[in-house]
């Protein structure tokens, strides 16, 4: 007799984990997120950055492009908590003011990618057949290229602007979201309640959005949070490569790029925006993991 | 004889979200060498917990609060894990419920048996393999060498279970624990597995603890029965006495809930044969159990004294009952049988008379599946010009169901019965033949059916957990068909929902509940209400009660039958359980490898002549009465892969117990009609001759 025999007995008896309905409300989710230190930290970081993005202009002591010639290349001090760069701009103010750009670009981009990915994933998984086959092969070809390379090609063609950055995020992330949604649809669509709905003459829209979508939501929320953290990274990378947000806007990636050449003299001008990117990405990732745990482990 | 196993006063709790709930309470039993003890109970009764505690293998959340498990005089619960490893496998062996998950999927079957032998018997590799092949032979596996070289997924469920039995018995253990070893198997396979276990333990003085919910198996297999309810031992008795004269109201209810084949015997009119709910209500969840008698909430005999906990009264030689009123039950002055509800058993007067048009007619229906090939094989096929393999899931079925009639469709898994129902439902494309609904063509495929046609055909699905949208309230699930199929306004529909819930005996508050708050039986009631919501003419029910406990089954079947009679709908009822079909159907169709073998009025089901396949199925059903098992034919092998269906001749000839010879292999049998019973069957043997052999 092997140990496997005993394992089946255990699994047969373990009380079934019921996905608690309370965790599907925003407040319930927040409570679940704060029940673990890691996801609580991630949530706090995200909410902090969100607040800074909203209130940035009120909190920043200086303007983004305000140059104080006398204070150029100052190390961090009480007057300039993050120091100043080679042009005499206050790094703290620029980091604060840059939060809004990166969060809104990554946020709206993710939102649009989730919307289009969900619709296409639902349709593709449910309809199947040649539509599914064609769409998935097309997505495969997009996914075959590294996201950054694809973004560079698209931006090279469209020219850098906020609009084209949004479009790039949508194109890069729609296939990934669609795949996740489709895989859930495939497992749900053969269940009794979906077949019953078909036999009751429900419309395609009702079947997709009333019957199937609710079962997709937990996986979708996790995926959306994860995509959001990657989108932040992508926007910053594009800024760093010079094809994203253009100067003189206070974009974090752009700030890292501009400060790179003078890193020996003013390291703080590079480390603070780079740190901001890292902290935000890690925070959002921790939060995404928290959502996954709350919804899949019950 | 000194007992081999003695469980004394065992109390077990589980940690569940911070609190402790009682899983077993003061359970005592004993088992002598060579005896078979049946442990019976519904889900949640604690029978698996008891089996695990006996093996000293509770999951981490479980804790033994009190009691001892004496195995050969030593308390297993005090034994350290290292000591237990010498007991598990060698002294106490387990055959689990799900054979596939108990075998390691990445090791060949033979290696896994070898490992047991090497570990417990100290054999070397070569000796072990020699012994393995002998063992596989002893469990009647055809071609043991090939089985030993197979991976678990390459052999059937019945064969996997045989391998596990071989493994369990390889060390000649003194106690064998069988945890529902046949639940996931077909009735014919179950019969041969039980035969096998009986054969193997004979003369070895092995004690067996048999955990099951199947009372038929208990009646045929066990010497003594212990009935568990909500974590307590409520009755314990020798098998003949327990079935003949149960002394606890719960046991009585359980026995009354079991559907019986004999329900189909002549005299029944094919209706009202379901005993209405043998037991009302449902088992209280752990943590919400009554402090007095645990059965008080569901007991028809409950009186004031039942608020105090009854002791286990010795109620006869070798038997005991945990009921204050056992003496009254024994004397017959208290009858725990539930008063039968009014309408059941009455002839159904309001059933519409058979009209000229059948509700459903199938003519030469064909459903095929293309077998998927790997890319490489597809490419090779281009060169070799081998046609793609097709699987004939439904192969030329002719069938008629009259309005208001119930057709029971039975067969082993893989016989194509579900595919047939799905084709009629429009969920499965067909590849030939014709379907008619009320005389008009029924287009295959839902897309080609109009709303009116959709309304007329509805389905009840097998798995209650997947039948309802988990994110939609019960009320919303019931409102949808009313709004889409009957074009009701939301307010009007909400009113109808209350009536629908009432029709399936659920309180109106249930409209606001989510499916996760419902028990399996309640979910299936809602699913039935939804199927009947728009007044269908044909309802397809695919194993609607196979996932439910026996006491719940009866109530759900009763409801299904009532609703069908009220609406005058035809019902196509699929089941692998012949007794359930016999109790519910007026007409029974037996399917094998995509073809019909026999169509018989239910009254004639038990009377010969039978198609040999039906004969074997009937012989395999364990009767829930000790000593009443007819000695019949057994099928040798298991249902062949539908890809290996004999092309010519009778599809059943490879397994047929009445095999004639070349004629069965080469010629397609004719449909024989037996005028005496009104049955038709697909066989070369004429009715008189078949009746002759089968009556003797």
Answer whether B468 touches A (CB < 8 Å): yes
The reported pLDDT for the residue numbered A294 is 82
What percent of chain B is modeled with pLDDT above 70? 92
pLDDT in tens, B158-202: 889 889 999 998 888 999 999 988 887 888 888 888 888 888 888
Do the Cβ atoms of B466 and A12 come within 8 Å? no
Using a CB-CB distance cutoff of 8 angstroms, which residues of chain A are in contact with residue B104? 2, 4
Do the Cβ atoms of A191 and B466 come within 8 Å? yes
Secondary structure (3-state) at B408 = strand
Using a CB-CB distance cutoff of 8 angstroms, which residues of chain B are in contact with residue A201? 451, 454-455, 484-485
Could you tell me the residue range of the domain that residue A288 belongs to? 35-60+81-296
Backbone angles phi, psi at B409, to 5 degrees: -115, 120
No. of helices (H) and no. of strands (E), chain B: 24, 24
Nearest-by-CA chain B residue for A187:
B466
Lowest mean pLDDT among A157-161, B451-455, B531-535: A157-161
Answer whether B480 touches A (CB < 8 Å): yes
Locate the DSSP E strands across B100-203: 175-179
Exposed e or buried b per residue across B467-488, where buried means at least 16 C-beta atoms within 10 angstroms of its C-beta: bbbbbbbbbbbbbbbbbbbeeb
Q: What is the spatial distance between Cα B696 and Cα B691, in angstroms, rounded to a whole number? A: 9
CATH number, domain at A172? Answer: 1.10.3720.10
Q: How far is CA B259 from the centre of its chain?
A: 11
Do the Cβ atoms of B168 and A197 come within 8 Å? no
Secondary structure (3-state) at B410 = strand
Cite the DSSP H helix spans in B374-512. Answer: 375-384, 417-425, 451-456, 464-467, 474-485, 490-503
User: Is A67 within a domain?
Assistant: no
What percent of chain B is modeled with pLDDT above 90? 47
Residue B385 has pLDDT above 70, yes or no: no
The reported pLDDT for the residue numbered B293 is 92
**B97, B164, B484 ranked by CB distance to A200: nearest:** B484
Q: Are B38 and B61 in contact (CB under 8 A)?
A: no
The reported pLDDT for the residue numbered B637 is 67
Does the structure's ipTM exceed the value 0.85? no
CATH 3.40.50.300 residue ranges for chain B: 5-102+170-229, 360-470+537-605
Q: What is the spatial distance between Cα A221 and Cα B461, in angstroms, rounded to a whole number? A: 30
Q: Which residue in the block uniquely carries the two structure tokens 């492009």?
A: A65
Lowest mean pLDDT among A143-157, B84-98, B257-271, B358-372: B257-271
The reported pLDDT for the residue numbered B403 is 92
Using a CB-CB distance cutoff of 8 angstroms, which residues of chain A are in contact with residue B429? none
pLDDT band with cut points at 50, 70 and 90 for residue B278:
low
Q: Are A153 and A94 in contact (CB under 8 A)?
A: no
Q: What is the spatial distance between Cα A172 and Cα A178, in angstroms, rounded to a whole number? A: 11
pTM of the model: 0.83
The reported pLDDT for the residue numbered A280 is 93
Distance to chain A for B380, nearest Cα, Å = 23
Element (H, E) at A106: helix A91-127
**A10, A210, A215 ranked by CB distance to B59: nearest:** A10
**Per CATH, domain B5-102+170-229 is 3.40.50.300:** yes
The reported pLDDT for the residue numbered A67 is 80
Mean pLDDT along residues B683-689: 92
The reported pLDDT for the residue numbered B356 is 61
The reported pLDDT for the residue numbered A11 is 33
Element (H, E) at B566: helix B550-567
**A14, A195, A200 ranked by CB distance to B461: nearest:** A195
Using a CB-CB distance cutoff of 8 angstroms, which residues of chain B are in contact with residue A8? 96-98, 101-102
Residue B268 has pLDDT above 70, yes or no: no
DSSP single-letter state for residue A210: I
Stretches where chain A sits below pLDDT 70 are 1-24, 296-298
- Domain count of the fold of chain A: 1
The reported pLDDT for the residue numbered A170 is 94
Mean pLDDT along residues B283-287: 77
User: Is A11 within a domain?
Assistant: no
**B14, B62, B467 ranked by CB distance to A193: nearest:** B467
- Average pLDDT of chain B? 87
Secondary structure (3-state) at B62 = strand
Put simply, the chain B residues between 44 and 73 with a CB less than 8 A from any chain A CB are 48-49, 51-52, 55, 57, 59, 61-62
User: Which is the CATH superfamily of the domain at B360-470+537-605?
Assistant: P-loop containing nucleotide triphosphate hydrolases (3.40.50.300)
Mean pLDDT along residues B381-399: 79
Residue B525 has pLDDT above 50, yes or no: yes
**B61, B97, B112 ranked by CB distance to A12: nearest:** B97
Distance to chain B for A12, nearest Cα, Å = 8
The reported pLDDT for the residue numbered B203 is 80
pLDDT in tens, B69-87: 999 889 999 988 888 888 8
The reported pLDDT for the residue numbered B343 is 39
Put simply, the chain B residues between 498 and 517 with a CB less than 8 A from any chain A CB are 514, 516
Using a CB-CB distance cutoff of 8 angstroms, which residues of chain B are in contact with residue A5? 94, 96, 102, 164
């Amino acid at each position: 007799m092997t140990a496997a025999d005993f394992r089946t007995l255990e699994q047969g008896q373990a009380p079934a984990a019921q996905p608690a309905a309370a965790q599907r409300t925003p407040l319930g989710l927040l409570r679940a997120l704060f029940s673990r230190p890691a996801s609580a930290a991630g949530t706090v970081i995200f909410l902090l950055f969100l607040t800074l993005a909203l209130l940035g202009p009120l909190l920043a002591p200086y303007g983004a492009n305000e140059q104080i010639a006398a204070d150029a290349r100052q190390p961090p001090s009480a007057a300039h908590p993050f120091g100043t760069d080679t042009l005499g701009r206050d790094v703290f103010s620029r980091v604060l003011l840059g939060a809004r750009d990166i969060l809104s670009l990554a946020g709206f981009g993710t939102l649009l990618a989730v919307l289009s990915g969900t619709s296409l994933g639902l349709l593709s998984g449910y309809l199947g057949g040649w539509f599914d086959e064609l769409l998935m092969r097309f997505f495969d070809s997009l996914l075959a290229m590294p996201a950054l390379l694809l973004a560079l090609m698209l931006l090279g063609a469209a020219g850098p602007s906020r609009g084209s950055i949004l479009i790039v995020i949508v194109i890069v992330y729609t296939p990934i979201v669609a795949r996740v949604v489709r895989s859930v649809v495939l497992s749900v669509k053969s269940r009794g309640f979906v077949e019953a709905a078909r036999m009751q003459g429900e419309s395609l829209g009702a079947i997709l959005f009333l019957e199937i979508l609710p079962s997709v939501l937990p996986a979708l929320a996790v995926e959306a949070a994860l995509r959001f953290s990657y989108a932040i990274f992508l926007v910053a990378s594009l800024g760093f490569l010079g094809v994203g947000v253009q100067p003189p806007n206070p974009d974090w990636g752009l700030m890292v790029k501009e400060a790179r050449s003078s890193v020996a003299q003013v390291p703080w001008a590079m480390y603070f925006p780079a740190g901001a990117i890292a902290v935000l990405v890690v925070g959002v990732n921790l939060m995404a993991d928290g959502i996954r745990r709350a919804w899949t482990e019950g | 004889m000194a007992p081999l196993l003695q469980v004394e006063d065992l109390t077990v709790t589980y940690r569940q979200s911070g609190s402790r709930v009682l899983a077993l309470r003061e359970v005592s039993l004993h088992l002598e060498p060579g005896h078979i003890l049946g442990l019976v109970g519904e889900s949640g009764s604690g029978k698996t917990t008891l089996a695990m505690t006996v093996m000293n293998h509770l999951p981490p959340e479980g804790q033994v609060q009190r009691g001892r498990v004496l195995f050969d005089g030593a308390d297993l619960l005090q034994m350290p894990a290292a000591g237990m490893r010498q007991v598990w496998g060698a002294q106490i062996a387990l055959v689990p419920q799900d054979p596939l998950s108990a075998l390691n999927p990445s090791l060949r079957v033979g290696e896994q048996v070898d490992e047991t032998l090497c570990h417990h018997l100290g054999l070397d590799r070569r000796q072990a393999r020699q012994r393995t092949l002998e063992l596989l032979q002893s469990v009647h596996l055809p071609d043991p060498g090939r089985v030993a070289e197979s991976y678990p997924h390459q052999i059937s469920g019945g064969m996997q279970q045989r391998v596990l039995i071989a493994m369990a018995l390889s060390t000649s253990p003194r106690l064998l624990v069988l945890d529902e070893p046949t639940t996931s198997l077909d009735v014919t396979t179950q019969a041969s597995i039980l035969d096998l276990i009986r054969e193997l333990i004979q003369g070895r003085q092995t004690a067996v603890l048999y955990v099951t919910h199947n009372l038929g198996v208990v009646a045929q297999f066990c010497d003594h029965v212990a009935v568990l309810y909500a974590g307590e031992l409520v009755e314990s008795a020798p098998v003949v006495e327990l079935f003949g004269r149960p002394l606890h109201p719960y046991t009585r209810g359980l026995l009354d809930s079991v559907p019986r084949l004999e329900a189909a015997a002549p005299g029944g009119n094919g209706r009202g044969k379901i005993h209405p709910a043998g037991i009302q209500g449902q088992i209280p969840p752990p943590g919400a159990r009554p402090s007095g008698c645990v059965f008080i909430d569901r007991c028809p005999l409950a009186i004031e004294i039942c608020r105090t906990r009854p002791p286990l009264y010795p109620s006869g030689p070798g038997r005991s009952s945990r009921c204050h009123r056992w003496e009254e039950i024994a004397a017959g002055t208290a009858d725990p049988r539930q008063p039968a509800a009014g309408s059941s058993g009455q002839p159904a007067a309001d059933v519409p008379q058979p009209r000229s048009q059948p509700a459903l007619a199938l003519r030469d229906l064909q459903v095929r599946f293309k077998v998927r090939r790997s890319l490489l094989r597809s490419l090779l096929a281009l060169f070799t010009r081998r046609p793609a393999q097709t699987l004939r899931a439904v192969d030329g079925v002719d069938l008629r169901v009259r309005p208001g009639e119930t057709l029971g469709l039975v067969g082993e898994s893989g016989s194509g019965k579900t595919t047939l129902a799905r084709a009629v439902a429009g969920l499965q494309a067909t590849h030939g033949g014709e379907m008619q609904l009320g005389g008009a063509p029924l287009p295959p495929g839902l897309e080609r059916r109009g709303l009116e046609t959709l309304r007329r055909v509805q389905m009840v699905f097998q798995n209650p957990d997947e039948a309802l949208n988990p994110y939609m309230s019960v009320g919303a699930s019931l409102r949808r068909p009313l709004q889409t199929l009957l074009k009701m306004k939301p307010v009007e529909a909400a009113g109808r929902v209350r009536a629908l819930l009432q029709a399936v005996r659920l309180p109106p508050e249930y409209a606001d509940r989510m499916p996760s708050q419902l028990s399996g039986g309640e979910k299936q009631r809602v699913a039935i209400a939804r199927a009947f919501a728009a007044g269908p003419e044909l309802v397809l029910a695919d194993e609607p009660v196979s996932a439910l406990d026996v006491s719940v089954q009866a109530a759900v079947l009763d409801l299904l039958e009532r609703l069908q009679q009220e609406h005058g709908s035809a019902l196509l009822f699929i089941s692998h359980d012949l007794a359930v079909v016999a109790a519910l159907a007026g007409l029974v169709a037996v399917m094998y490898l995509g073809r019909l073998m026999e169509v018989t009025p239910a009254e004639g089901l038990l009377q010969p002549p039978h198609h040999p396949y039906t004969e074997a199925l009937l012989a395999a059903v364990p009767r829930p009465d000790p000593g009443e098992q007819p000695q019949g034919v057994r099928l040798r092998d298991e249902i062949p892969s539908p890809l290996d269906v004999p092309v010519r001749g009778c599809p059943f000839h490879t397994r047929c117990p009445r095999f004639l010879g070349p004629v069965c292999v080469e010629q397609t049998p004719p449909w024989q009609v037996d005028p005496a019973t009104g049955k038709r069957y697909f066989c070369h043997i004429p009715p008189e001759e078949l009746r002759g052999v089968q009556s003797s």
